[in-house]
């Protein structure tokens, strides 16, 4: 069975757990994601541990956000780890995004638009007023113009972003929750089926898989649901 376009977020407290989750889900998904919790605790060695023998694609979600020179240096520092994807914040601006792109020619630089944990009210508090979709579209256009090959947005905005940037850009959506699952600290969410049908290329899913009794079986179940959407719509999977 072809693995589904899912990046499982390995937000684990220790390396053994992360590597175990990775081994359980890799038959069913294309990608595993290493974020701040694991990377800051274990450093670069974590990448080889989760990549394991399967050689699964690793998405390094460091969400870099600093002046261009510093981001370029940070990107060069992780380039040897050969992540498939590295995140930077779109609000770092075009020069910062371009610095990351130029520093990592063999990695997709994904610009995070607005964190999926932020509600419209939260966004208002940090000075982003109006529908989140408007700011997400604007940041997407800016990031793509600066060279980003991928964008991170919520599944609620993915159709609008696709309309904005066209077919050539990889759209990555965290904030994915199977029907009936708790949204936890995510604010702008949709189901895996909806995210794929609306144009997402890669669905980031963490706790609904890793917090389940059987992460391998849960990943397999979501992958099967995505294949059904794909068969019906011709999208992804
Ligand atoms: O806007 C964003 C950007 C990144 N993330 C990351 O995705 C996962 C989501 O995990 P869940 O357990 O499925 O909520 C997590 O690693 C975040 O750091 C995001 O959620 N939103």
Q: Kindly report, residue by residue over 199-210, the tens digit of the pLDDT.
A: 999 999 999 999
pLDDT (0 to 100) of residue 211? 98
pLDDT (0 to 100) of residue 143? 99
Report the C-alpha gap between 99 and 75 in whole angstroms: 9
Q: Does the pLDDT at position 116 exceed 80? A: yes
As beta bridge partners, residue 179 has none
For 23-72, what is each residue's pLDDT tens digit? 999 999 999 999 999 999 999 999 999 998 789 999 999 999 999 999 99
Q: Span 73-88, mean pLDDT?
A: 98
Q: Mean pLDDT across the chain, nearest whole number?
A: 97
CA 81 to centroid of ligand 1, rounded, Å: 21
Q: Does the pLDDT at position 86 exceed 90? A: yes
User: Lowest mean pLDDT: which of 9-13, 49-53, 118-122?
Assistant: 49-53
Q: Quote ipTM for the complex.
A: 0.99
Catalytic residue among 63, 138, 227, 235: 63
The pTM of the full predicted model, rounded to 2 decimals, is 0.98
Half-sphere exposure of 232 (CA within 13 A, CB side): 11
CA 219 to centroid of ligand 1, rounded, Å: 16
Q: If pLDDT is split at 50, 70 and 90, which confidence band does 1 have?
A: confident
Residues with CB under 6 A from ligand 1: 9, 11, 35, 61, 112, 115-116, 152, 174-175, 186, 204-207
> Which residues 6+ apart lie within 8 Å of 107 measured at CB?
79, 82, 83, 84, 85, 86
Q: Does the pLDDT at position 129 exceed 90? A: yes
DSSP characters for 122-185?
Answer: HHHHTT--S-HHHHHHHHHHHHHHTT-SEEE--TTTHHHHHHHH-TTSEEEE--B--TT---TT
């Amino acid at each position: 069975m072809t693995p589904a376009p899912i990046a499982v977020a390995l937000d684990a407290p220790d390396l053994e757990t992360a590597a175990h989750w990775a081994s359980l889900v890799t038959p069913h998904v294309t990608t595993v994601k290493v974020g701040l919790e694991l990377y800051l605790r274990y450093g670069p060695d974590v990448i080889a541990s989760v990549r394991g023998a399967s050689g699964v694609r690793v998405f390094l979600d460091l969400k870099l956000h600093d002046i261009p020179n510093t981001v370029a240096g940070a990107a060069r520092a992780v380039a040897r780890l050969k992540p498939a994807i590295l995140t930077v914040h779109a609000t770092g601006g075009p020069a910062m995004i371009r610095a990351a792109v130029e520093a990592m020619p063999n990695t997709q630089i994904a610009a995070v638009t607005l964190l999926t944990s932020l509600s419209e009210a939260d966004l208002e508090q940090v000075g982003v007023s109006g529908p989140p979709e408007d700011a997400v579209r604007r940041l997407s256009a800016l990031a793509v113009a600066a060279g980003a090959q991928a964008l991170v947005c919520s599944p609620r905005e993915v159709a609008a972003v696709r309309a904005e940037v066209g077919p050539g850009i990889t759209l990555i959506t965290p904030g994915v929750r199977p029907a009936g699952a708790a949204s936890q600290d995510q604010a702008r969410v949709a189901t895996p089926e909806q995210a794929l049908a609306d144009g997402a290329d890669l669905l980031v899913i963490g706790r609904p898989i890793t917090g389940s009794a059987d992460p391998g079986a849960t990943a397999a179940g979501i992958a099967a649901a995505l294949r059904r959407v794909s068969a019906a719509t011709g999208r992804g999977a």
